[in-house]
Amino acid sequence: MPSNFIKSIISGDVRSGQTPQVVTRFPPEPNGYLHIGHAKSLCLNFELAAEFGGRTNLRFDDTNPLKEDEEYVRAIEEDVRWLGFEWASLCFASDYFEEMYERARLLIQKGKAYVCDLSAERIRETRGTLTVPGQESPFRNRGVEENLELFTHMKRGEYADGAKVLRAKIDMASPNLNMRDPVLYRIAHAVHHRTGDAWCVYPMYDYAHPLGDAIEGVTHSLCTIEFEDHRPLYDWVVRECEMPNRPRQYEFAPLNLPNTVTSKRKLKQLVSERVVDGWDDPRLPTLSGLRRRGYTPEAIRNFERAIGVSKSNSIVDERMLEHFVREDLKLKAPRTMAVLRPLRVVVINYPEGQMEWLEAENNSENPDLGTRTVKFSRVIYIEQDDFMDNPPPKYFRLYPGNEVRLKHAYFIRCEEVVRDADGRVAELLCTYDPETKSGSGFSGRKVKGTIHWVSADDAAPAEFRLYEPLVRDGATDESDSMLTRINPNSLEIVQGFVESSMKSAKPYDKFQFFRHGYFSADPKLTTPDRLVFNRVVSLKSSFGV
């Protein structure tokens, strides 16, 4: 991993002997699926610890049963593994409920916490504002015994939700709102996905997180910058709860991408309102969506490594992400031919009934991928875009009278354009030159363009799914108009053909379709008799249309 400020800090701690073994953790709340932004944290935590010979836990921050679900736990585990990370321990904040409860009693005994009967509304009103200090709760000075007893009753579920909370006794006049007697425990008669109905009180993030870190022996607790002003509270909890381990929190800037929804709430909304086809819709930046789209773990990891780590707000150009998939798939994916929008071509001087199998390398830059054969015959399909009636100056594909090369085959010349009743191009009549066969070493004349094609009697029907951003510009802010900015063209479905050699494509099989881009067989829609390819990313093009 390239140099960054967190790595420098850890490096210093290791060198000074302060940190014999680096321990980090990735702490998702199981209330949604992981997305590309989480991958940044994932990579940071796992790769950094690994670099220093340390370990990383996967810890679910499951302290709010109202929002969490087992489904998310499974999905998150799968995504973390898919990215290629192995956790040292699988942990749950809920595993520590008992210890957290005991530490809370310790806080009460030390006079550092109290049970407050104020309503949520009153607590808000007495918290003060950014510029006005808060007011102390009338329950702030209850005795230790009374607090202990009330807290016990809270735990037993003897009060209604919201009737009471346990608060830290810190400083209602602190300029840092987080220190104004923050709530540590709230009452919730809810069924927890792991502890069932064993608990009626649940710890808040600010209390549970530092304790979870300390219990696990985490040395460096990495989180995003919005938690920066929670750090004094984090330290307070660790100190006042007298935890033997003293983890340190460090904050980094989260990843932002243009035209990308990375708010869990919004992703959830898109899924529940069926704007998309589930959490793994290929248009989503979720890891499961990217996986289904055809992105690879390596591409995502290399991307995360390349964007670096700092504390400044930033928006990373999405072309960077695209660059890293292209780079990863370049040598891995076989390069085959697919015609997305077919135009029929009859090679009029190629004998009817004749055909031949041509040899084609699967990846000219990676011989290990071997070769395959491609059928050539009298009738073929080419791309509609590869023919123009009245081409602009620099167009070197097919047009009346022009000659191009058919990839892996022959030169063909456009002799005649056949039109339908509306005058539109229906098919092309071309001639081929047998002398120009690929691999023959022919050098008699050159041709400017090479186009791809598929023989009509060898073409396997296939569906291609082309994607554009799900939301338009400006849709990443927190305003509620996201649904009004959905891009109606985010998914375009096109029916065309691929070489018959691809009939056996399996889910997630990846190809570079010549001159189109990288495609991946859709895992949900591809069946033995139906081929569906998702376009991962197009090829770059310097051809200005």
Phi, psi of 48 (to 5 degrees): -65, -50
Q: How far apart are CA 77 and CA 70, in angstroms?
A: 11
Site size toward RNA, by CB under 7 A: 92
Q: Which is nearer to RNA, 204 or 430 (CB)?
A: 204
Closest CB 358 distance from RNA, rounded Å: 8
Q: Which is nearer to RNA, 120 or 355 (CB)?
A: 120
Q: Which is nearer to RNA, 224 or 377 (CB)?
A: 224
Closest CB 195 distance from RNA, rounded Å: 14
Site for RNA in 173-192 (CB under 7 A): 175-178, 182-183, 186-187
Q: Is 309 in the site for RNA (CB under 7 A)?
A: yes
Q: Which is nearer to RNA, 260 or 450 (CB)?
A: 450
* 135 to 139, 174, 181, 519: CA distances (angstroms): 12, 11, 10, 61
Q: Which is nearer to RNA, 128 or 523 (CB)?
A: 128
For residue 241, give both structure tokens: 């709860």
Cβ neighbours, 10 Å, residue 106: 14
> Rounded to the nearest 10 degrees, what angle do helices 205-216 and 97-109 cross at?
110
Q: Is 139 in the site for RNA (CB under 7 A)?
A: no
Which listed range, 69-77, 98-106, 123-131, 422-430, lies at the site for RNA (CB under 7 A)? 123-131
Q: Is 307 in the site for RNA (CB under 7 A)?
A: yes
β-pairing verdict for 517-521 and 532-538: antiparallel
Structure letter (DSSP) for residue 540: P
Q: Which is nearer to RNA, 281 or 513 (CB)?
A: 513
Residue 4 burial (C-beta neighbours within 10 Å; 0-12, 13-18, 19+): middle
Site for RNA in 495-534 (CB under 7 A): 512, 514-515
Site for RNA in 389-418 (CB under 7 A): 394-397, 405, 407-408
Residue in 41, 541, 521, 485 with CA at minimum distance from that of residue 282:
521
For residue 128, give both structure tokens: 């003060």
Closest CB 20 distance from RNA, rounded Å: 24
Q: Over the Cα atoms of the chain, what is R_g?
A: 31
Q: Which is nearer to RNA, 153 or 437 (CB)?
A: 437
Site for RNA in 354-393 (CB under 7 A): 363-365
Q: Which is nearer to RNA, 90 or 530 (CB)?
A: 90
Q: Which is nearer to RNA, 292 or 455 (CB)?
A: 455
Closest CB 530 distance from RNA, rounded Å: 25
β-pairing verdict for 459-467 and 532-538: parallel
Q: How far apart are CA 469 and CA 336, in angstroms?
A: 26
How many CA atoms within 13 Å lie on the side-chain side of 353? 0
Site for RNA in 11-30 (CB under 7 A): 27, 29
Q: Which is nearer to RNA, 175 or 434 (CB)?
A: 175
Site for RNA in 209-238 (CB under 7 A): 209, 225-230
Residue in 462, 456, 469 with CA at minimum distance from that of residue 519:
462
Q: Which is nearer to RNA, 327 or 468 (CB)?
A: 327
- In this chain, which of 90, 198, 306, 494 binds RNA, going by CB under 7 A? 306
Q: Is the dihedral of CA 342, 515, 327, 358 positive or negative?
A: positive
For residue 516, give both structure tokens: 């189109």
Q: Which is nearer to RNA, 108 or 406 (CB)?
A: 406
Closest CB 166 distance from RNA, rounded Å: 10
Q: Which is nearer to RNA, 323 or 413 (CB)?
A: 323
Cβ neighbours, 10 Å, residue 524: 12
Closest CB 307 distance from RNA, rounded Å: 4
Which listed range, 33-41, 237-245, 318-326, 421-429, lies at the site for RNA (CB under 7 A)? 318-326
Structure letter (DSSP) for residue 351: P
Which listed range, 34-42, 64-72, 237-245, 492-500, lies at the site for RNA (CB under 7 A)? 64-72
Query: Which residues have a Cβ under 8 Å from the Cβ of 531 and sit 6 or more positions away?
Result: 460, 461, 462, 463, 498, 502, 503, 505, 521
CB contact at 8 A, 399 and 388: yes
Q: Is 240 in the site for RNA (CB under 7 A)?
A: no
CB contact at 8 A, 491 and 465: yes
Residue in 317, 335, 333, 334 with CA at minimum distance from that of residue 325:
333
- In this chain, which of 25, 34, 41, 206 binds RNA, going by CB under 7 A? 206
Closest CB 97 distance from RNA, rounded Å: 12
- DSSP bridge partners of 411: 405, 433
Q: Which is nearer to RNA, 18 or 176 (CB)?
A: 176
Which listed range, 44-52, 79-87, 163-171, 500-508, lies at the site for RNA (CB under 7 A)? 163-171
Residue in 193, 191, 198, 177 with CA at minimum distance from that of residue 133:
177
Q: How far apart are CA 37 and CA 25, in angstroms?
A: 16
Site for RNA in 445-474 (CB under 7 A): 449-450
Closest CB 252 distance from RNA, rounded Å: 8
- In this chain, which of 18, 21, 109, 119 binds RNA, going by CB under 7 A? 119
Site for RNA in 245-304 (CB under 7 A): 253
Closest CB 306 distance from RNA, rounded Å: 5
537: left (phi over 0), alpha (psi -120 to 50) or beta: beta
Closest CB 189 distance from RNA, rounded Å: 11
* 221 to 45, 248, 423, 457: CA distances (angstroms): 9, 6, 68, 61
Q: Is 332 in the site for RNA (CB under 7 A)?
A: no
β-pairing verdict for 453-455 and 248-252: unpaired
- In this chain, which of 118, 172, 369, 429 binds RNA, going by CB under 7 A? 118
